[in-house]
Each structure stands twice: as structure tokens, then as C-alpha cells.
Structure 1
Amino acid sequence: MRHDYVTRLAWAGSTGAGYRAYDRAHIVSAAPAETSLRLSADARFRGDGGLLNPEQLLVAAASSCQLLAFLAVAAGAGIDIRSYEDDAAGTMDLSDEPARLNRIVLSPVIGVPPGTDAEAVLAAVVTAADQCYIANSLRTEVTVGATVVER
């Protein structure tokens, strides 16, 4: 079964004054979603630090995919998950050729009811990591270090 994903990106401005002068802000949308995102380059690349950038979106996509895969695995295994929070981080080393995000670390804290088998939760995390479409699509290393807490 094939799934296609289509987005639309729009930018307007001028590069006529050179690299330092043009606006990096642009809009991305993906029908049928009603929301569009205003993005920019990372501030370290002359972008607007008040806007999300593509590198952050890639880290967020990996984090979101892991969450969704994990919830599906946990639900299928009958494991009750009550909360999931992830402070994800991506690392880019510009000395690498070609430059790219070379590591994404996901650090979810997973809330479960008292008495839940933490080992079963962690096994579901591993299964979900193997099934995450985004992580499977990247050359970048994606690691998941989960913590299980009773809530």
C-alpha cells in the first residue's frame, strides 16, 4: 500500500542584494490541514530565531513519529499509557561533509498507572522505534532513551 504526502512551500523576496540581505521566512502548508507554518532558517544561518526552522521540524517529526508508533504498540499490547513527554534534541556538526543532522536523541518520560510492568513499556518503546517511519527514512542516527514513571 502506498501513501503520498504533499506539501506546498511559498517564499517571496529578493536575493539581489546578496546572501546577507534576503529574508529567510517562508510558509509551508499541507492540505487538507487548515494550519500553515511560517518557518525560517536557524538564527545562526541568518534566519529569524522567533520562527521554527527545518532542523527543528525534523527533530519534532522524529519525536512525533516515535510517540504515535509507541501509542499504537502500547494500545495493541493492552498497556495503559497516561502521559508522554519528550524533550528531543538534534545535533548537527558542520564539519561533516555533507553537513547534516547526525544524531537525534529522543528522551520520553512515559507516565503509567501504578503497578504497570515497566519492562513491557520499555519493550514497546523499542518495538515502536523499529516501526517509526520517520526514523526509518533517515540516515541520521535516532536513539530513544525512555523513562517510565508511575502517575
Structure 2
Amino acid sequence: MTTHNYTSTVTWSGRTDAYETYSRRHEVRLGDSSIDLSAAAEFRGDSALPNPEQLLVAAASSCQLLSFLAVAAHAGVEIIDYRDAATGIMPDDARPMRLTEIVLRPTIVALGTTTAVVERLLEKAHRQCYIANSLTAVVTLEPEITVR
């Protein structure tokens, strides 16, 4: 049995002498890449920087894309364009505070197939998406499919 491990490093320095003013900016290192993050603006973060909630939504969106492309390729279905406008929903009254839903809205262009086939492959990929399977939030698909 193989176990896959994924790592990241988070680095922050500063002072938490006052809740209102401490910096939420930090660095996340993923392999040879790094990204500066902050808390969401609603939580006193820098709105110019990505936040962990956005990364979670992006991870779900990216995983769905990669799962779908693999499933489509195995099925011999040619996909020529895939774009997603994903949204994470975090109600103020959710306890514990959390994203309760992620809505993925992929717009897909496929060649020489049918919408029904693409929808079936999209659902199969959704069931196989590691990130969606790891979340307690509901991950919903709302696709737009064009077949040429």
C-alpha cells in the first residue's frame, strides 16, 4: 500500500501585542514555490493578498479540473476548454465557523461527444476528486457544457 504525503511550510513573524493591529501576512512555501497570504479582509487581513479560504476553494476547483481531464482522457472524450468560476460560502452563523459549501461552475467545451456523456464524466470525476472527498463542506457542480 502506498501512502502519499503532501507538505507545506508556513512562516510568520511579528507581534501579537494587539489583536486589532498585528499583521496577518504570512508566507506559504509549497515545494520550490512560495505565496504570500493574509487573512480575508473580513478578518482584518490584506484584501490584496490571497487568503486560506480562497486557497481551499481553488484547491477544490483545481482537483475537479484534474480529475475531470483524467476521466475524459481515459474515456476518449476530447476536452478543448475548461474554465471554472468557483465560490466558497461561509455563513457568519455557522458553528464552528467554516466554509459550508463550495460551488464549482465549470464551463466546458468538448468535441465530438454529447452533453450527457460530458455530464456523466464530470460526475464521475467529482466522485473521484480527492479534495472534495476530504471536505465536510458540500461541493456542488453547476456546469455549462458546449459540445461541438
What residue number does 2:66 align with?
Answer: 68
Give the partner amino acid of 1:27. E
Give the partner amino acid of 2:136. R
Counting matched residue pairs gives 147
Give the partner amino acid of 2:13. A
What residue number does 1:136 align with?
Answer: 133
Mapping 1:2-21, distance limit 5 Å: 2-16=3-17, 18-21=18-21
Give the partner amino acid of 1:47. G
What residue number does 2:96 align with?
Answer: 98
What residue number does 2:25 align with?
Answer: 25
- 1:117 offset after TM fit, Å? 1.4
CA distance in 2, matches of 1:38, 1:150: 39
CA distance in 2, matches of 1:120, 1:111: 12
CA distance in 2, matches of 1:39, 1:26: 5
Give the partner amino acid of 1:103. E
Which of 122, 126, 141 lines up with 1:125 in the alignment?
122
Give the partner amino acid of 1:92. M
Secondary structure (helix, strand or coil) at the match of 1:101 reads coil
Unaligned runs of 5+ in 1: none
CA distance in 2, matches of 1:140, 1:59: 11
- 1:35 offset after TM fit, Å? 1.8
Identity %: 50
What residue number does 2:43 align with?
Answer: 45
Alpha-carbon contact 2:89-2:102 (below 8 Å) kept: yes
Q: Which runs of 4+ in 1 moved over 3 A?
A: none
- 1:76 offset after TM fit, Å? 0.2
Unaligned runs of 5+ in 2: none
Answer yes or no: is 1:35 the counterpart of 2:33: yes
- 1:8 offset after TM fit, Å? 0.3
